[in-house]
Structure 1
């Protein structure tokens, strides 16, 4: 028998970690409190409608493909996806509409046609986004920030010389306001802060790295839906011999002589040569690591925003809508102040609608659509969420009706609601925050937990609450960074 590895949690990073460690020769066992794998990346089925429950944007597909390639498999035998021609459709209440073509030239033409913004401004912004990615991705996304070797190499030194150009010293909104003339285009590029639950009026302009992923690298759709990322990786892990134990909440990570030696569950203790924690870092320290030394500074960091999602079965087709759709608030800055300062929902929210039935017709009955209807909300700080959900639904319906010139309420035949409390309960995310700690300051990248414990030997971390951050690509990279620290069994 080879060395044993136990993984706490089967979120997307936990699945990737199980594959990587299995290929390193470990006998891997995954313990999951839920009855299913995937964490946030799960699905919901109601009365003929199917919804991807969580993340809805797919970028950097090579991070998924790499796992199959490492296992000597042909990705297409397990998982298929296609590049989107339209990344997102944008709508404003005054009737302005804009389709964000994945082709940069077409997108620049569209922006010029709809907003009068010079084409070169859009192209320059996306070139700047690519520049930020070129210099920051090797440092912040693909390596541990907590190892000296990351900081003392040629690539790192080249990046230090460009910190001013990389947006570290201004906010996203300040940078975008300088790049564009039209306030609607500033708003469109500001929305990328929400991709990791942050505020564009506070978060550093380094987050302008994100449009590069969507436009220059491409946005994609798995042909079987986002949940197929989970299903395909889960299938691969099982093929490799990974053992999954569902409905098995971990009560404690066992530590002896400053070394992780296994876990405690309701059904007994299980021992291993190393332990990987894929649970939210804050929740883990408050529960399964509560007897160990606490990283107090990290635990006190402000959390990211959360989401309020209405999964609606809509008995009508809206041809103007695509896979990704944004209905913008008339006052974006007030919306973010309400979320982060007042910890409430704004009366005129920006509404995101994801409709997978456009590309996967069996996700909704004929003539119908499956609307994943979401607004950004504060994380759970004890608010009255029943009251918030009630008024938020009114605000959302009003925004949809005013923007799309419709009466949506009679068309809703199926409804399921997920709020921050539900997110916290289902995924152990502290306060229901979607991305762990927020990125609303220039030091946020340095204030994430490393992919290993500096206090407990043989204890490692992966997932959206640790380095390098939240979202599918970064979660997969967290598993890669972590696994690269572990020698073969």
Structure 2
């Protein structure tokens, strides 16, 4: 008899889990509260403009390709992407502009020319980043931290011998200040803490693993936009027989004698041999698992930062802008103090502008651009968000006007806003945090929920709120780790 699996939530990890379980021979039923798949990795269309709603940076594309290959498919028949020549463009108030070329030699020359920073410092920083990745990825990204064999295998023993060189005992900012002489380059490399919603002045320098993904391996762009990651995998999963139930909010996980038996949806019970929770772990325990034993230590952990996003249809072309653009704050430390200590938005925020129409022209009308304009903000702690959003919008517009020497507000043709409150309501992310628990201490990796329940048999977990963390590659890896346990 075919075994049945129920997956709760169709975020990218939930979809990946459905594919892996279908390939293991399970009949997979996936229940999603929204009317569409993808969770944060969805899209918005407004009057001729298309926006990728959530994640905008694509790294480690092999994690997506692997799912098609496991199914015996050619990835290119479903999903195509291109490597970026410029990973990101950086702008400062004093007129400094920097292109982060994907070609390491070009990037090193750009930094030396524009900032006077020796090119060798860039090469050495990225060599160290690769070293951290090679030492830790097999341990932290590809295996469960909650099983003994992870800590006793030969790769783990090798990592123990390198522990002093992995950045565990210093902060990201401290390591970058030792590596670089120019404060703008320190700021640029500190920015990678935001890739998992952390504070570079507190998070361990181990997170300097991230630049390796963007520079040494590469940053990519799906030819049909980021949302195509969702839709291509959704298509594959349906071809493998996965049944999706949209608009079906799970009310309760059914547990009997310490074993997960199924779920309750709209008052009806659905039974299965195993359950996979792709819902944010904190909100899951507060709602569908509220009658079960609570992992109190994990639930009390501070949450990552969130985001305030303005989706703007801009009725003008800016040829100096590319796919990824960063407009830096003049006081980065104070910006993070506001986010993580004060729970407020600094009046000179760092602004990220993602413009997919630079690579996918039909995302905006001719002569126009689709601006995904984002700043990092605190998670939702019942602040006066309406007031904060209005102030932040004014500060964002003034900053962009100063640097680009224009009047952005007069060019905004359409607008939609996403803030921590709507992030929580649309994606069930606790407090609107983008990456679950924060990584602002050296033990953060060990304070993420396991990919299985130690208290409830046949209940598994995947997604950005559990091991190994948030972001597309890690969410896909969470599905892989989870499925290999079954």
Q: What's the TM-score, normalizing by structure 2?
A: 1.00
Distance in structure 2 (CA, Å) of the matches to 1:209 and 1:307 = 23
- 1:156-171 matches, cutoff 5 A: 156-171=156-171
Partner of 2:418: 418
Count of residue pairs brought into register by the alignment? 486
Q: Give yes or no for the alignment of 1:30 onto 2:10.
A: no
Partner of 2:481: 481
Distance in structure 1 (CA, Å) of the matches to 2:334 and 2:403 = 19
Partner of 1:395: 395
- The secondary structure found in structure 1 opposite 2:165 is coil
Q: CA deviation at 1:150?
A: 0.2
- The secondary structure found in structure 2 opposite 1:51 is strand
Partner of 1:214: 214
Partner of 1:337: 337
Q: CA deviation at 1:268?
A: 1.0
- The secondary structure found in structure 1 opposite 2:460 is strand
Distance in structure 2 (CA, Å) of the matches to 1:319 and 1:185 = 24
Distance in structure 2 (CA, Å) of the matches to 1:34 and 1:103 = 41
Q: Give yes or no for the alignment of 1:446 onto 2:446.
A: yes
Partner of 1:286: 286
- The secondary structure found in structure 2 opposite 1:176 is helix
Partner of 2:99: 99
Distance in structure 1 (CA, Å) of the matches to 2:399 and 2:150 = 46
- 1:36-435 matches, cutoff 5 A: 36-266=36-266, 268-435=268-435
Partner of 2:468: 468
- The secondary structure found in structure 1 opposite 2:164 is coil
Structure 1 consecutive aligned stretches of length 4 or more whose deviation exceeds 3 Å: none
Q: Give yes or no for the alignment of 1:8 onto 2:8.
A: yes
- The secondary structure found in structure 2 opposite 1:251 is strand
Residues 412-464 of structure 1 show CA distances to partners (whole Å, capped at 9, x for unaligned) of 01000000000000000000000000000000000000000000000000000
Please, which runs of 5 or more residues in structure 2 have no aligned partner? none
Q: CA deviation at 1:399?
A: 1.1
Distance in structure 2 (CA, Å) of the matches to 1:324 and 1:108 = 19
Distance in structure 2 (CA, Å) of the matches to 1:128 and 1:285 = 39
Distance in structure 2 (CA, Å) of the matches to 1:217 and 1:4 = 38
Alignment RMSD: 0.5
Please, which runs of 5 or more residues in structure 1 have no aligned partner? none
Q: CA deviation at 1:267?
A: 5.1
- The secondary structure found in structure 1 opposite 2:146 is coil
